[in-house]
């Protein structure tokens, strides 16, 4: 009965989860598509798993899967892709530096496009974080030619059949628009709001925000060369 599923990766976010529940529950009441929530607990070692279970128990539209151990953001997103059954899916970080309400902005465009991603306007991050992200995005654009200014924005809507065809690898969450282009899909970026983190700790430092993505670019080029894409002309 749902049309849209929001994937929420979680790793040690016990201080944020009550607020996550409140904001996502409020969004389900104003969403332009009937919306379900899927938490992906990425092997948290704090109280996140317990809190997620309690949230899902008291909210019909909320569900979860839980990893045995921490496998990283790309793995959590991939698990979400694998378990979603609605025609549309979205993704948001559990730090809530973006607002679930802005999913309605992205959903306005998803009919014509296969992926719509947010661009964080007026970012509320430190100078070092902003600058390293800007450099990383510039390097990635030079490799992928996807035209996207902010692929690290944790607010996206994707047609599920396209998402399920993405061959994920570690770090690929930064390359989702490029992977849709490899399927001859259409992509769009739309400005969304950005907020400072008010609880919990950031999971990415200078290495995995700047140097890590540079290494991932070479993995993307290898995949692009080997990627299989086809259309069936006729079948009986």
Q: What is the pLDDT of residue 26?
A: 97
The SS3 of residue 10 is strand
Q: How far apart are CA 67 and CA 215, in angstroms?
A: 26
Domains in the chain, ordered, with CATH?
4-226 (3.90.550.10)
- pTM, full prediction: 0.83
Q: What is the pLDDT of residue 221?
A: 77
- Residues 78-125: pLDDT tens digits? 999 999 999 999 999 998 889 999 999 999 999 999 999 998 776 655
CA angle 50, 54, 56 (to 5 degrees): 115
Q: How confident is the prediction for the chain on average, in pLDDT?
A: 86
The pLDDT score that the predictor gives to residue 59 is 96
Closest CA to 62 of 16, 24, 10, 17: 24
190 pLDDT exceeds 80?
A: yes
Specify the pairing of strand 155-159 against strand 115-120: antiparallel
Edge-to-edge, what's the strand order for the sheet holding 62-66? 62-66, 35-41, 4-10, 88-92, 155-159, 115-120, 187-192
DSSP string, 72-127: -HHHHHHHHHHH--SSEEEEE-TT-SS-GGGHHHHHTTTTT-SEEEEEESS--S-H
Is 116 or 137 the better-scoring residue by pLDDT?
A: 116
Q: Which residue has the tokens 């700047």?
A: 210
- 122 by Cβ neighbours in 10 Å (0-12 / 13-18 / 19+) ranks as exposed
Q: Which of 217, 211, 131, 100 is nearest to 169 (CA)?
A: 217
Element holding 128 (H helix, E strand)? helix 127-144
Give the pLDDT mean for 34-63. Answer: 97
For residues 11-15, average pLDDT: 94
Q: How far apart are CA 12 and CA 51, in angstroms?
A: 11
């Amino acid at each position: 009965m749902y049309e849209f599923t929001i994937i929420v990766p979680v790793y040690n976010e016990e201080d944020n989860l009550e607020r996550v529940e409140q904001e996502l529950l409020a969004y389900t009441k104003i969403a332009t598509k009937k919306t379900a929530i899927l938490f992906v607990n990425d092997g948290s070692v704090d109280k996140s798993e317990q809190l997620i279970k309690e949230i899902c128990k008291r909210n019909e539209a909320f569900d979860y899967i839980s990893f045995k151990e921490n496998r990283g953001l790309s793995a959590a997103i991939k698990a979400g892709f694998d378990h979603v059954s609605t025609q549309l899916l979205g993704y948001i970080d559990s730090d809530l530096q973006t607002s679930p309400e802005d999913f309605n902005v992205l959903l306005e465009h998803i009919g014509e496009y296969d992926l719509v991603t947010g661009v964080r306007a007026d970012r509320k991050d430190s100078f070092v974080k902003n600058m390293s992200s800007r450099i990383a995005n510039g390097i990635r654009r030079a490799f992928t030619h996807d035209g996207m200014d902010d692929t690290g924005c944790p607010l996206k809507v994707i047609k599920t059949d396209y998402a399920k065809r993405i061959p994920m690898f570690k770090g690929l969450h930064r390359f989702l628009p490029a992977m849709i282009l490899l399927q001859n899909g259409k992509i769009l970026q739309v400005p969304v709001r950005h907020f400072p983190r008010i609880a919990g700790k950031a999971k990415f430092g200078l290495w995995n925000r700047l140097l890590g993505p540079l290494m991932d670019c070479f993995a993307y080029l290898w995949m692009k060369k080997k990627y299989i894409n086809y259309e069936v002309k006729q079948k009986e």
